Structure 1
Amino acid sequence: MGREDVLAWVESPLQLIGAAEWAAAHGTAVPVAGRLTAQISETADELLARGARFGELEPYLGIPWSLLARHGHWLVGDGFSGQFRLAAAVLRPRRLTFLDDGGLAVAYADTLLGRRPYARPSVQERGLTTAAAPFAAELVHRRAAARRADLFTAFDLGAERQDALSDRGFGIRHHDFSWTRATAPAAPELGRRVVLGSALPVDGRMLLVDYVRWVRDAAADAAVYLPHRRETAEQLDAVATVPGLRVHRTGLPVELVLAGARGPLDVHTLPSSTTTTLPLVLAGTGVTVHTGRARRSMREAAA
């Protein structure tokens, strides 16, 4: 293998979908290093069944050093990752392309512009993760100056931010999940009203009692609930008590579950990346995405 060979390094199902979209847009097969989780595996199987242009799929724990060392072009799912920072500083890949990591796409763009620290928002960092940040940032900006750093995104970065990135050498290519739409089988019959699960209670950012109250209001006596991949058994048990709510577990990201919808849906969600991704995935179906308000947890209120 040569130093220009591409490898997708992904840590979440949405990042894996981004890798499939990149492969389709560039007409090339992409080997994948995917974090060893059940939903990454299930999402990869589903994407392959839909014709994703993936090469070898290698599960990993930690940093896949040997795979990364054999490839010079990394499709990076999480630019804020401490593991990415360390691997980039040590291995110094020849080319970098950053995929979307949910709603952090805009925050990462601002990080690349030096408008915020190289640190994941709302996370207290320390140790090696912090120490590696300036070395990773130096590498990324060197590659941008040589026109070897790109963003492949479904998010609106804004004209001013995009121009500023371009001025620094970053290439920007937008996608709208066209491959995901084109290859989707008919979606399961879920009914018109769909409630999307959230990990806010798991992260301590919303009290479970307030979360269940939001689900009850969003369900309005009859809805299908699609759980978030990080929901706990306790949270799902609490949600299951909501009258008229049917919990539908798929093991797949909602973008894949709903992509084949043929009729209009009323989707209810708390603030998340789905407010950007689903209108693109469901373009032309008449979808309406309702974004609820997350009440602050006691931890946040006390801060």
Structure 2
Amino acid sequence: MHSTDPVNRVHPTGPPSPQSRPSPQSPPSPQSRPSHASRRNVALVESPVQVLNALEWACARGGGPGRLTVVVLPPTDPMSRGQLRRMAGIARDEDATVRWQEARGHRGGLPRTLRELAPLLRHADRVLVGDPFSRYVQLLLGLFRPRRVTIVDDGTATMEYAAQLVSGERLARWHRGGVRSPRELALAPVGALARRRLSPGRRRALEIFSALPVEAPDGAEVSRNAFAWTRARYGPPRITGGADLVGTSLVETGVVDPDRYVDAVAALAAAHGVTRYFAHHREDVTKLHRIATATGLEVVRSELPLEMTARRGPIGRTVVSFPSTVVHTLPTALAGSGVTITVCDVAPEWLRASAPPRARGFLAAVAETARTAHGLTLTGA
């Protein structure tokens, strides 16, 4: 299959037109809970790639998407909502049940979500968790004791989550500083309870389904996400000349200095003959316009996870990426295609003064594990 995903492109001439942005219209109405919910697997997802990985798990281990209920807890930004709508449609096409649950940005949304989802989760055969650090997911997990839990997000957060379970640390995103805000302190009991619910125990089975290298705690099972569903549905891709660069949200999370990042993108583009920049779905539009203006690159915001976009093609013969999830997932999704993946290490001088002390070591570990596991080459900007 060689067709190209619909994409939004950011050009150096100015902001995208309103027609290129996702419609603010309301998403499809939630489907009612099926009568046989006690036999269903329920996935709590908040991003497009989490929907993809829930489908991958259902096809690999869960009896197929027909036994899967995907509960979408959408963010408020229009781009992510548009991508989630597209992935929700694909999940429905695969015979999964999709339930769109507005928990953010609506008065009374959180209490209503907790009230409406509690029965579904209590009767689920297994609960799939896309983001173990999500406060919304943690609040939901506080309402019941899941018998079987599977972590399905192939983000670098999965590596951090597993490492924190092994070390006994509290659950905290790696890019957050050591200072805890009043809100975080107030929610600390929620996080502590969620940590217990997301750990293996005498009455709870824990599985981590991931393409990333994870160190599982005692009693947990690790299953490899081989992207079998994606590879069967799409590709092999049409390969173009030149190179593509995969962006990152390290600026948005406060880790990397924006000026240093734009300079690094320009240097990588010149060194590798990059023509397109695939934006992360959380990247700021203003930053993307600056990249397009400064480098002349075509900035692409795909409606689908990059693993699916790359399999559908066209894709550059070389894909350059900063340390992120895709340096582990793309080698698997594109295995045998002839595409070369190159990972660019993050130089210490790129980091903001306010970046957490562990940032440098964590990013270096992501790059090094990708080099070791997949034989990727390392490059500098």
TM-score class normalised by the smaller sequence: 0.7 to 0.9
Structure 2 CA distance, aligned partners of 1:219 and 1:6? 44
Q: Is the 8 A contact 2:48 2:83 kept in 1?
A: yes
The CA deviation at 1:264 is: 6.6
Paired residue secondary structure (2:354): helix
The CA deviation at 1:274 is: 0.7
Q: Is the 8 A contact 1:259 1:281 kept in 2?
A: yes
For residue 56 of structure 1, what is the aligned residue in structure 2? Answer: 98
Q: Is the 8 A contact 2:155 2:325 kept in 1?
A: yes
The CA deviation at 1:119 is: 2.4
> Which blocks of at least 5 consecutive residues in structure 1 are unaligned?
none
Against the structure 1 CA distance between its residues 301 and 20, is the aligned structure 2 distance closer, same or farther, given a 3 Å change threshold? Answer: closer
Against the structure 1 CA distance between its residues 202 and 188, is the aligned structure 2 distance closer, same or farther, given a 3 Å change threshold? Answer: farther
- Of 249-258 and 109-118, the range deviating more from structure 2: 109-118
- Of 148-157 and 292-301, the range deviating more from structure 2: 292-301
Which 4+ runs in 1 deviate beyond 6 A? none
For residue 245 of structure 1, what is the aligned residue in structure 2? Answer: 297
Against the structure 1 CA distance between its residues 252 and 286, is the aligned structure 2 distance closer, same or farther, given a 3 Å change threshold? Answer: same
The CA deviation at 1:190 is: 5.5
Structure 1 CA distance, aligned partners of 2:168 and 2:357? 28
Q: Is the 8 A contact 2:255 2:356 kept in 1?
A: no
Cα root mean square deviation, aligned: 2.7
Paired residue secondary structure (2:44): strand
AA paired with 2:89?
Answer: D
The CA deviation at 1:102 is: 0.2
TM-score (norm 2): 0.69
AA paired with 2:202?
Answer: A
AA paired with 1:270?
Answer: F
For residue 251 of structure 2, what is the aligned residue in structure 1? Answer: 201
Q: Which has the higher contact order (CA 8 A, sep 6+)?
A: 2
Structure 2 CA distance, aligned partners of 1:191 and 1:179? 27
Structure 2 CA distance, aligned partners of 1:301 and 1:40? 30
> Which blocks of at least 5 consecutive residues in structure 2 are unaligned?
1-35, 75-80, 105-109, 359-381
Paired residue secondary structure (1:231): coil
Paired residue secondary structure (2:229): helix
For residue 88 of structure 2, what is the aligned residue in structure 1? Answer: 44
Of residues 144, 152, 156 in structure 1, which corresponds to 2:209?
152
Of residues 27, 32, 38 in structure 1, which corresponds to 2:63?
27
AA paired with 1:290?
Answer: T
The CA deviation at 1:241 is: 1.6
Structure 1 CA distance, aligned partners of 2:252 and 2:196? 35
AA paired with 1:57?
Answer: R
Of residues 109, 116, 119 in structure 1, which corresponds to 2:162?
109
The CA deviation at 1:256 is: 1.3
Q: Is the 8 A contact 1:20 1:53 kept in 2?
A: no
